[in-house]
Amino acid sequence: MATHNVSSPILGTVFKITVKPGDTVRANREILILESMKMEHPVEAGVEGTIAAVLVAEGDTISAGQVLVHITPGAIADVTATETSDAAATGERADLARYRDRRHLTTDDARPEAVARRAAKGQRTARANIADLVDDGSFVEYGSFAVAAQRQRRTLDDLIRNTPGDGLVGGLATVNGSLFDEDASRVAVASYDYTVLAGTQGSLNHKKKDRLFAVAEQLRLPFILFAEGGGGRPGDTDSPGVAGLDCLAFAYFAQLSGLVPIVGITSGYCFAGNAALLGCCDVIIATENSNIGMAGPAMIEGGGLGSVKPTDIGDINVQTANGVVDIRVANEEEAVAAAKQYLSYFQGPLSTWTRHPDDVMRGLIPEQRTRVYDVRTVIDALADIGTALELRPTFGIGILTMFMRVEGRVIGVIANNPAHLGGAIDSDSSDKASRFIQLCDAYDIPIISLCDTPGFMVGPDAEQTAQVRHFGRMFVTAASITVPWITIVLRKGYGLGAQAMAGGSFHANTMTVSWPTGEFGGMGLEGAVRLGYRKELEAITDDAERAALEAKLIASAYERGNALNMASHVEIDDVIDPAETRARILSIIGRGTSWRQRTGKKRPMVDTW
């Protein structure tokens, strides 16, 4: 039988020879190793047989095609005892074992004491919150092996065990995936880890955030941020520079405003840099134990402003009354549930829903026109059951701002609150409504305005709140939007306030309709009569006769300003049976468009206030 020649496939050097003449080999036996360009190239026997001759030595330089070994082919009963293979070795590879050990140290299981401290405070870890938020198995983490940039002052083992992720856990995932398709459910998420250096912002976790912000921008993903901790970390030693004010994290995060929905969640202490990021979010969800401030105790004391406890700074009552917090919840579990519900409004329509009967709406407005009522009853009756979510309920309470669904379709609602100042619009409620209108427009959510207002608030005290400018925001904001805007007048539609609730004019929006309870005028009708007929009324000396004329004039004004008369002059588009409200809304908004279909921003940003 002819000898089988084993030739070199490449130009290189003989690095190792693993056989000698007389050895028996299988066809797949590795008989020598060549080295070329710093890479090892194994050469197999190619046939079963016996090594007849080895023609090269270790260290020889060989050319491509050069014969290296002669093999006499033939069946063999056994192989040479020295024939082994790494593939036959038992046990886990060393590199994989090292990876598994290091991966374990990034998990909560590796830090039971830190987990226990969180539990003792009634809080969860960063990883536990993310796990509750995202769909099972969907989280793809970025930068998990980062450690604090303190190698010059601490050992690497210490940093690995005690500063996992450099205090930030983040990545990509899906949320509400059982309700929406994969594209609609994809998000980016990041959580500061308060168990690592009190949630401070280190140089590497800034780098991780920047990376996630860029990916969220590139892929057009909503961003959910759990913000807890402080600001810049003074203890990092491994980064060049002085103050770190060239950090781009805040600019990058702010650039997401108006491009993708941004959800902020906070629990516990949230100060300085964490608070700055939180303040950029479209919505802020905060737990009862939250303290939020642009400076923590150390910075306050360092500024010579005294020594304060962290619990004295921006507690939940302060930050809900002043409008910083949009949604107040009891704990992190409720915060995550609220975040899922809020995010769902930006993920698209639902194909299934339950709702109240249409005729429920007929009896919601009292027949006595001066009797107060809760406008939330109207919203709850109109919305699909369980879908209404109110933002900033204890700030600017003259106007309610809410998201809800009508037959599965998402709608933003602004509604006058007749239980507060009779529904008059003040500065805070103007700001609240204006900001909400921007939010809806940025993400293509139609707006329903439930109007019941005597107008803007008046008087010397009101003017001290700069209301001329604040009221103006409602007009200029409404004039800048493109989403459908439907105004439904429930009862009062007076003056500039009513025009603001209609986007600037009853004919500036998509549709203005009224329930039969609607009443209209350039100002409150009683005041209009007393001003317009002052001379006539003052000319009557008899009190009873004057009161009778005033009552007659007011009744005439109400008749002239009732909804049907307004519709007869086409100042509004129609008067409808309240039971028709849902159908009218659906006839206008259709299936709508999605913000995801755009390549860029519709608005330059969403005002944070």
pLDDT band of 510, cuts 50, 70, 90: very high
Considering only residues 173 and 84, tell me which one the structure prediction assigns the higher pLDDT: 173
pLDDT band of 82, cuts 50, 70, 90: low
What is the pLDDT, as a whole number, of residue 189?
98
What confidence tens digit (pLDDT) does each residue in 558-586 have? 778 899 999 999 999 999 999 999 999 99
Tell me the average pLDDT across 10-24: 94
| 97-344 classified as CATH 3.90.226.10 | yes
pLDDT band of 62, cuts 50, 70, 90: very high
Q: What percent of the chain has pLDDT over 70?
A: 95
pLDDT of 433 over the 90 cut: yes
What is the pLDDT, as a whole number, of residue 299?
80
Average pLDDT, the chain: 92
Residue at 172: amino acid letter: L
Question: Which residue reads 């299934």 in tokens?
Answer: 352
Domain locations along the chain: 4-88, 97-344, 358-518+563-591, 524-561
pLDDT band of 90, cuts 50, 70, 90: low
What is the pLDDT, as a whole number, of residue 538?
78
Question: Which long-range CB contacts under 8 A does 110-117 form with residues at least 24 apart?
Answer: 110/161, 110/164, 111/164, 111/195, 114/195, 115/195, 117/195
pLDDT band of 196, cuts 50, 70, 90: very high
What confidence tens digit (pLDDT) does each residue in 254-297 have? 999 999 999 999 999 999 999 999 999 999 999 999 999 998 88
The domain 4-88 is classified under which CATH number: 3.40.225.10, 3.40.1160.10, 2.40.50.140, 2.40.50.100? 2.40.50.100
Mean pLDDT lowest among 80-89, 220-229, 529-538: 80-89
Q: Give the separation between CA 142 and CA 209, rounded to whole angstroms.
A: 9
Task: Report how far Cα 258 is from the mean position of its chain's Cα atoms.
Answer: 11
pLDDT band of 1, cuts 50, 70, 90: low
pLDDT of 446 over the 70 cut: yes
Helix (H) or strand (E) run with residue 285 in it: strand 283-287
What confidence tens digit (pLDDT) does each residue in 409-431 have? 999 999 999 999 899 999 999 99
Question: Which residue reads 């037959």 in tokens?
Answer: 407
Tell me the average pLDDT across 170-181: 96
Q: Which two tokens stand for residue 436?
A: 């909400």
What confidence tens digit (pLDDT) does each residue in 67-79 have? 999 999 998 876 6
pLDDT band of 527, cuts 50, 70, 90: low
pLDDT band of 87, cuts 50, 70, 90: very low
97-344 and 358-518+563-591 share one fold: yes
Tell me the average pLDDT across 466-482: 94
What confidence tens digit (pLDDT) does each residue in 353-392 have? 999 999 999 999 999 888 999 999 999 999 999 999 999 9
pLDDT band of 89, cuts 50, 70, 90: low
Strands 399-406 and 409-416: antiparallel
pLDDT band of 80, cuts 50, 70, 90: low
Helices (H), 121-193: 126-133, 156-162, 182-185
pLDDT of 524 over the 70 cut: no
Homologous superfamily in CATH for domain 358-518+563-591: 2-enoyl-CoA Hydratase; Chain A, domain 1 (3.90.226.10)
Q: Give the separation between CA 363 and CA 426, rounded to whole angstroms.
A: 28
Tell me the average pLDDT across 544-550: 81
Residue 229 contacts residue 198 (beta carbons within 8 Å)? yes
